[in-house]
Structure 1
């Protein structure tokens, strides 16, 4: 759509979407917008230098990975391979009997991991190059799962949403245990390959375990395709990929976030310009935005890592470029 591209060009000239690396908007199977820019990029904290982005350039999606992990949990749950959401969490980690014996942790369930309401101390608001950031500390710990589950108890589980990559790491472990496959391998067989997504990477920690919280690298086109399967109710090319009931469950508001939206099962829920929006959000301005009433999926990658105002680029792109052009 020419109007979309004109709006994008104008907004770029105005400097309102600085740091934008790429954007793909798809509606009803039709690509409405596809943009690629130039900028410095990183794999986690390792600089790739200045990159000229294109349709086949992989990009960190950072914590959008969390939302994909939740999709994978639902697929595995539909096949009876992982515990139900109400299952006691510590029962799934029998190697930690001392933690299971702690009455303050006895009420933890899988759902508390899915809603990031574990009630455990977790500080992830620090920059991700800071070893005291809880996710980085988890990656540096000799046992990531014990690190998460042994954090000090600060409130009863289910009380409050607290952003926690450790919760996602626990889900990744449950998927790997239940399916008998490493998380990245299960992701390929259960989700990516059925969607025709073959060119991807899943960054691992020092222990060789794929980061369920922030490790995925995808092309923007393929990120948008994940949004398309969500819009299609979990079906793709005549095949059921994600149980439709899981999508309904995953997108049900559970807890308020600290910034005004709500949280489901590892997806953010809000209203923008009168439209219901479900999103996966990652550090730097990474977004997978799904607007069901418009049958619209928007994938955005950007380089504004650790910037407090990183949210402005994807939100501005949606509000000033995409939505006005759709009427």
Structure 2
């Protein structure tokens, strides 16, 4: 893949990688591409100004955080700290007996949260600076889990994938309750420290609870390590961190997304140029892409927040830079 830097320079010159902040690609354990740019950035809604990105610069992962949260769920499940996917969801939230008493809501399981198929009213197709966006409304609510679980029922659970950051918030609460540790603390001891990741921020709401859906900030190098972990079925340098069985379960295609790809447990499953692709995706063009057939992980950070065409930069990076270099 020696032509990667040349292909990257060509794509940048052609304007195909608008808003790109950084990319790290690792193949077979070796870094084959590492690039840092400069651009305006935000931490959630707080402007950071123009940032010169480098190897040590933390970056919002936005909804790639969801894919990391489900890795934590698998670790906690293996330790017997959280319920099995088939477990009734509202039985885990005994503080809401009124909701559990509704027969339709009582049908919800943890699996429905893992697959984002709760069947509840939830709209995140509204800009994230608006309280009409369900995730923002959840963060503003006095009790975020009640806010999620009491949404109007619009279809049977499990019938359809519907993007829902509230589902991830529920999983975060189950992890924290089951392990007896705040989500960010558990993540440090169970996942990040074993991976050698020490510089981490996990942003929290006004209640101090870490956002399981969008709060994580990592460097691109460390994000790529998480991709390598998935590529190795949960092992890192011979040490088992995530159960291999959970990684297989997590990446099993379950429902079809709104644009035709498949969804597992908080990971997107698709193909690109005939190659199997596993990905975590976040607002602005944040991506963690794993290409198992190529033994390749690509971590991307970008600043195209709320842009309808934000998907173009990571797709162009794959199609015009990374994949041509593997041919």
Shorter-chain TM range is over 0.9
1:299 has 2:299 as partner: yes
Counterparts of 1:1-327 in structure 2, within 5 Å, are 1-327=1-327
Distance in 1 separating the partners of 2:232 and 2:97: 43
State the SS of the aligned residue for 1:265.
coil
The Cα of 1:2 is off from its aligned counterpart by 4.0
The Cα of 1:326 is off from its aligned counterpart by 1.3
State the SS of the aligned residue for 2:75.
helix
What is the TM-score when the length of structure 2 is the normalising length?
0.99
What is the TM-score when the length of structure 1 is the normalising length?
0.99
Please give the per-residue CA displacement for 1:18-54, whole angstroms capped at 9, x wherever unaligned.
0000000000110000000000000101100000000
Distance in 1 separating the partners of 2:309 and 2:252: 27
The Cα of 1:239 is off from its aligned counterpart by 1.1
The Cα of 1:212 is off from its aligned counterpart by 0.1
Distance in 2 separating the partners of 1:202 and 1:142: 20
Gaps of at least 5 residues in structure 2 are: none
The Cα of 1:286 is off from its aligned counterpart by 0.1
The Cα of 1:104 is off from its aligned counterpart by 1.3
The Cα of 1:233 is off from its aligned counterpart by 1.3
State the SS of the aligned residue for 2:323.
helix
Count of residues paired in the alignment = 327
Please give the per-residue CA displacement for 1:200-233, whole angstroms capped at 9, x wherever unaligned.
1000000000000000000000000000011111
Please give the per-residue CA displacement for 1:165-202, whole angstroms capped at 9, x wherever unaligned.
00000000000000000000000000000000000100
Distance in 2 separating the partners of 1:213 and 1:159: 22
State the SS of the aligned residue for 1:138.
helix
Write out the 4+ residue segments of structure 1 that deviate beyond 3 Å after TM superposition.
none
Quick check: 2:2–2:325 contact (8 Å CA) kept in 1? no
Distance in 2 separating the partners of 1:209 and 1:71: 19
Quick check: 2:251–2:264 contact (8 Å CA) kept in 1? yes
Aligned-CA RMSD value: 0.6
The Cα of 1:289 is off from its aligned counterpart by 0.1
The Cα of 1:260 is off from its aligned counterpart by 1.2
Gaps of at least 5 residues in structure 1 are: none
